[in-house]
Each structure stands twice: as structure tokens, then as C-alpha cells.
Amino acid sequence: MQPEPAYQHGSMNRIGVLLINLGTPDAPTAKALRPYLKQFLSEPRIIELPRWLWWFVLNGIILNTRPRKSAEKYAQIWMPEGSPLKVHTERQTELLLQLLEERIKPAPVVEYAMMIGAPSIAERLQRMKERGCDRILVLPLFPQYSASSSGCAMDGVFSELRRMRNIPAVRTVKHYHDDAGYIEALAQNVREYWDKHGQPDKLIMSFHGVPRKTLDLGDPYHCECQKTGRLLAEALALTSDQYQVCFQSRFGFSEWLGPYTSKTLKELGKQKLKRVDVVCPGFVADCLETLEEIAIEGKAAFIEAGGEDFHYIPCLNEHPDWIQVLGDITHRHLAGWLEQQVSEEAAELSRKLALEMGAQE
């Protein structure tokens, strides 16, 4: 257990909100990619293979080849301020804080952490404790739950709590794949894009894939993606031939959830479909998987196969409707704690008042 300062009455009474995203390398270089991929691909919830076998594959093959190839991809999408995933997550955190400052008095502490890399979950949880948080809401920024994303983020939180003597109260948001506000924000984002650029023949809704076997092993991810897709299509009044749910980012040689986005885009290109748009509703911030894999590689695959026009619709990022939704989800999950905070504040105020009155007498 980590040492803690001696306990003092009333020293911890703030509410904290911890947003968690996946994580990204510090730089678009092979040197920075190596430790990032090593940490990521060593997570037992990401790679469910016998440890000894995976150790040889990871250290013998993957870490000797993938860092350079991935770095080249990151270099194509890197922003002047840094990795898009980090830049957008930072902005979302700041905007959520501003919103909660308007809605809740005193406002909660709002921080973000990355499952992989920096800022780590451990570091941010410690910082929140130092800032007086005794109640922490953990909100992974993955709308659809999967063991490899939200589950892994929870592991990061709980393993840090194990090291603490005075553990804060913790609540977690499992998912929000069918939240009405989230669906409407997605739909509004697409409508705004179509108002400016016109409408496609087909909308591909591309979600990050996971190994196919995880579905049979009880992971709800596939069903949650399908439900998000159906609700988004309903909100946009699309018929079943005007949209398709697909899965991207296959890693390794095993079967992953299908249909695969890359294969589907090639087929649509071969069919000489005039225009296809792709939206990625499972990512709330643009990142390597959307900006490189879809907007660059996916576009090339569609056009080379014979398609005419390809549009990538950006993620929610800092869309004001999305920030409101983030605020609403947070607010809902703080129920009870906020009322508790109000009565704690009132008790503190009357204690101070009584002290002052006593001093005047």
C-alpha cells in the first residue's frame, strides 16, 4: 500500500469525474511506438492468448516490425498540438469542466487519463485524491462496452485502488451505446455534414472490431454496436439498404467481428457505387483508426476498386451537442452524491456561522 498523509477531519469531500480513453504514443516515431505497443499488447484483456506463447510472438515479431509501420501511419495524422486522440480528449475534458462549473456548485474535479501511456490512470487517480476527491465517477469514453476497451480501463482503476489505504467511493459508467442524447448528437453531426456536402448512396457505420470468439464468450460489444447502428439509422430515417454496420482495425490472423469495413468498401467500389460516406460512432474522438485507417486507407480502397466519391464524417470531438450529452451522462451518474454534497455544504456553513456568532458574543 502507498503511504498517505495523516487523516484530517473534512480534508476529503470533493466529487471527481475521471474520463478515460485508450491512449496514444507520445510521438509519431518508432521509438515512442515501441513502449506504447508493448504496454497495450501486454494487457491480458486485449490479447487473450497463453502468456508464454504471446510473449514470443510479441517480443520476437510484433515489436520488431509494427512500431516503424505504425509510426509512419501516425505521422500522417499528427496535429501540431500532438496526437489527435489526446488533443480531442484534452479539449473534451476542459469543455466538460466548463459545463459542470455552470451546472454544479461546487463543481466536481474533472480529469482525464489514458489506459495506455500518459497521463496514466494511476497518476490521475492519485492527483484526484490529492485534490480532495473522496467520490470518483469513472467514465470510459467508449460508448459500447467491450472487455478489451472499457473492461481494461476498469482494470486500470481497480488495480490502482488496491494500492490505496483510504479508497474513495467509486462509481463506473459501463456504457452509453443507446443513450438517447448520444444517438441524437451522432445524428445531428451527420445531418450537419450532409447539409454542407450532400447525401451519399450509402452510409457505412464503422466500429472498431474485436475477435469474433469474444461474442460467444459473452462480450456484449457486438450487440451494442448493432443497437447503436440501428438507432442512428432510425434517427436519420435511413432504410436498411441505405446503411451498413461494419467492423474495422482487424489485428492478427484470427476471425474478427464482421463484415470487415475494408472488404465492404472494396465491394462497394467494385459495384461502382457513386458515393459512400463513413462515420465511426464507436469513437468519440478522431484518432489513428478513423483519420488514417478510414479517411486515408478506406478512401483509397474504395476509389481504387472503382468507387467515385468517398466522404469521411468526423467524430463528435468537441461538438457542443456531444459535450452536453457528456454533461448529462455525468450528471445522471452523480445522483445522490450531489444531494450529499449540498447537505455537507449546508452543515459546513452552519458550523462556520455558529463559530462566528460565538466569537461575536
- The sheet with strand 309-313 has its strands ordered as 243-248, 202-208, 275-279, 309-313
Of 318, 315, 312, 316, residue with least CA distance to 297: 312
3-state secondary structure of 106: coil
What is the per-residue binding string for ligand L6N33NVT in 139-158, x denoting contact by CB under 6 A?
---x---x-xx---------
- Distance CA(161)–CA(170), nearest Å, equals 10
Q: How far is CA 306 from CA 46, 204, 263, 301, in A?
A: 36, 17, 13, 9
Q: Is 301 in the site for ligand L6N33NVT (CB under 6 A)?
A: no
- Are 194 and 148 in contact by the 8 Å Cβ rule? The answer is no
Q: Is 115 in the site for ligand L6N33NVT (CB under 6 A)?
A: no
- Distance CA(164)–CA(158), nearest Å, equals 10
- From the list Fe ion, ligand L6N33NVT, none, partner contacted by residue 222 (C-beta under 5 to 8 A by kind): Fe ion
Q: Which region, judged by CB under 5 A, interacts with Fe ion, from 57-65, 91-99, 115-123, 215-223?
A: 215-223
Give the one residue of 138, 154, 210, 279 binding ligand L6N33NVT; rule: CB under 6 A.
210
Of 156, 178, 158, 183, residue with least CA distance to 168: 158
CB of 273 to ligand L6N33NVT, least distance (A): 26
Q: Burial level of 128, CB count in 10 A (0-12/13-18/19+)? A: buried
Pick the closer one to ligand L6N33NVT by CB: 100 or 313: 313
- Distance CA(163)–CA(17), nearest Å, equals 20
Give the one residue of 14, 34, 208, 311 binding ligand L6N33NVT; rule: CB under 6 A.
208
Pick the closer one to ligand L6N33NVT by CB: 163 or 174: 174
Give the one residue of 112, 193, 283, 322 binding ligand L6N33NVT; rule: CB under 6 A.
283
Identity of the residue numbered 345: E
By CB under 6 A, the residues from 44 to 63 that bind ligand L6N33NVT are 46
Question: Within its chain, how far is the Cα of 334 from the centroid?
Answer: 19
CB of 323 to ligand L6N33NVT, least distance (A): 19
- From the list ligand L6N33NVT, Fe ion, none, partner contacted by residue 223 (C-beta under 5 to 8 A by kind): Fe ion
Q: Which region, judged by CB under 5 A, interacts with Fe ion, from 113-121, 219-227, 309-317, 332-340?
A: 219-227
Q: How far is CA 38 from CA 25, 62, 123, in A?
A: 11, 9, 19
Q: Which region, judged by CB under 5 A, interacts with Fe ion, from 47-55, 114-122, 173-181, 220-228?
A: 220-228
Q: Is 186 in the site for ligand L6N33NVT (CB under 6 A)?
A: no
- From the list ligand L6N33NVT, Fe ion, none, partner contacted by residue 282 (C-beta under 5 to 8 A by kind): ligand L6N33NVT
- Are 38 and 132 in contact by the 8 Å Cβ rule? The answer is no
* Known binding-site positions: 208, 289
Q: Is 79 in the site for Fe ion (CB under 5 A)?
A: no
By CB under 6 A, the residues from 15 to 44 that bind ligand L6N33NVT are 22, 24, 40
- Are 191 and 277 in contact by the 8 Å Cβ rule? The answer is no
* Known binding-site positions for Fe(2+): 208, 289
The number of helices, as runs of H, and strands, as runs of E, in the chain is: 14, 8
Of 233, 146, 169, residue with least CA distance to 15: 169
Pick the closer one to ligand L6N33NVT by CB: 142 or 310: 142
CB of 324 to ligand L6N33NVT, least distance (A): 22
Transcribe 139-186 into DSSP letters. EES-SS--IIIIIHHHHHHHHHHTT-SSPPEEEE----TT-HHHHHHH
Tell me which residues touch ligand L6N33NVT (CB under 6 A): 22, 24, 40, 46, 66, 70, 83, 85, 142, 146, 148-149, 208, 210-211, 249, 251, 282-283, 287-289
Tell me which residues touch Fe ion (CB under 5 A): 222-223
